Structure 1
Amino acid sequence: MINIRNIAQSFRSNFSYLVSIIIIFYLVGFTGLTMPSTRPFFIHLTPFALLLSSLVVGLFHSKFSAKTILIFVFIYAASFMVELIGVNTGSIFGHYSYGHGLGIKLFNTPLIIGLNWLLLVYVSNSIMELSNWPLILKIVGASFLLLAYDLLLEQVAPQLAMWSFSEHTVPVQNYVAWFVLALLFSLLIKLLKINTKNRIAPVVFGIQIFFFIAILLTLN
């Protein structure tokens, strides 16, 4: 029988080694995505990259209590439903559609998108935990981090077949919706005292930022 705690502890005790593996993983992904001959294959691997990133962050989470799991499930389900309504009506983020880059869809909405929201909300709040700011500033700061992440991601999402807007420009309402959702989810995490202190979460966030910047500079 696999002992999850022992596996998690093994990863935690080899932090530098794990960070090196993550960096290599994203470097391989970057190389594959920037080569026309391998780009289609690596685009299909995007959901697995999100799953792996989430798994790594999860292994460094302090404790999965029933309350924590319930909140995580809620954030996944709520964000998925918002995206589902948004992509089918255009009333939340604007008129956009998902490509094949995020994998299996349900009602035109990738199943992985809820996990992506959960990961981003978690890591942004984890970064804010590194500061000594008052609670309200941590919530707002985490929301602005997600907004900054989206500002970057929107520039590369169409090229990676994630999603694209019908107007070919990202409407302001998309960024407003991202910020409001990030604010609500971050507020929920703080009010219910979900512990997001996580040693590797800021590292994963930083690597993804550099990854998307590199993709943007290379493919444009």
Structure 2
Amino acid sequence: MQRQFEKIAAYLNLHFNKVALFFVVFYGVGILGLSLPATYPIFTKLTPLALLLSTVAMAFFHSSYSEKALAVFGVIYLIGFGVEVIGVNTKLIFGPYTYGGGLGPKLLDTPLIIGVNWLLLVYAANSVIERFVANRFLVILLAGLVLVVYDLILEQAAPLIEMWSWQNNEVPIQNYVAWLVLAILLSGVLRLSGIPVKNRLAPVILSCQTLFFILLLFILNRP
């Protein structure tokens, strides 16, 4: 299994430009599918698969695996998922919000994929920031800030594709504060563990997702 994984990783790294182009087209098709009334219901259900595909693809470009790395990734998933469970059921962390059907199967009113989403975003943000900043504590802080900016866009787009919605359609300030705290916490877990986060595909995925949500706002918010 490990040898097969390494072969696939080597092949994908050799053809990185094609992989990057694939995801540009992939997210472009997603925008088109969500823009058309006939295909909108289908594409809203594909969001979990898109997140999984993006995460698995990035996994093949991760530079070094170990039991420690897998454990840290698992901890980030569990913390991210656990905080969301508490948040959606108590309304005390992020504010009053409810998950729709766009993120797939749920446990305790929380999509199982949401922990994967936190892992993907935290890993990608740290990988991108580390390209420009050497100090790991500054990387942690900046990664948190990057994810808050990302969330400013995401919160406006999420209800449009049935990911989640807010009471009275108002996103409270506490949501962004909680996002910053949780993003910094998870970035700290990742960076202070010493696990390398160099990843060629991370900037592509993070950029594609950000542009994806920006374009959806323009397209689906049309009068």
Fold in common (TM above 0.5): yes
TM range (shorter): over 0.9
Distance 2:152 2:70 in 1: 29
Q: Give yes or no for contact 1:154–1:170 (8 Å, CA) kept in 2.
A: yes
Distance 2:205 2:74 in 1: 21
Q: How high is the TM-score relative to the length of structure 1?
A: 0.98
Equivalent runs, 1:58-207 vs 2, <5 Å: 58-207=59-208
Q: Give yes or no for contact 2:103–2:113 (8 Å, CA) kept in 1.
A: yes
Identity %: 49
SS at match of 2:169: coil
How far has the Cα of 1:134 moved from its partner?
2.2
Which amino acid is 1:143 matched to?
A: G
Distance 1:9 1:171 in 2: 45
Which amino acid is 1:140 matched to?
A: L
Q: Give yes or no for contact 2:76–2:189 (8 Å, CA) kept in 1.
A: no
Distance 1:132 1:96 in 2: 35
The C-alpha deviation readout for 1:137-167, integer Å capped at 9, x for no partner, is 2111100111011110000100100001113
Equivalent runs, 1:18-97 vs 2, <5 Å: 18-97=19-98
Structure 1: unaligned runs, 5 residues or longer? none
Q: Give yes or no for contact 1:72–1:118 (8 Å, CA) kept in 2.
A: yes
Distance 1:106 1:138 in 2: 33
Distance 1:184 1:132 in 2: 18
Distance 1:11 1:215 in 2: 29
Q: Runs ≥4 in structure 1, deviation > 6 angstroms?
A: none
SS at match of 1:116: helix
RMSD between aligned alpha carbons? 1.0
Distance 2:191 2:30 in 1: 34
Distance 1:74 1:58 in 2: 16
Query: Size of the alignment, in residue pairs?
Result: 220
Distance 1:24 1:151 in 2: 24
Which amino acid is 1:156 matched to?
A: A
Distance 1:34 1:115 in 2: 25
How far has the Cα of 1:133 moved from its partner?
4.0
Match of 1:8 in 2: 9
For structure 1, which segment, 188-197 or 41-50, has the greater mean C-alpha deviation from structure 2 after superposition?
A: 188-197
Q: Give yes or no for contact 1:124–1:145 (8 Å, CA) kept in 2.
A: yes
SS at match of 1:189: helix
For structure 1, which segment, 152-161 or 186-195, has the greater mean C-alpha deviation from structure 2 after superposition?
A: 186-195
Distance 2:186 2:139 in 1: 12
Distance 1:112 1:104 in 2: 8
The C-alpha deviation readout for 1:161-188, integer Å capped at 9, x for no partner, is 0001113110001000000000111111
Q: Give yes or no for contact 1:127–1:202 (8 Å, CA) kept in 2.
A: yes
Distance 1:132 1:110 in 2: 34
The C-alpha deviation readout for 1:16-72, integer Å capped at 9, x for no partner, is 111111111111111000011110100000000000000111110011210010010
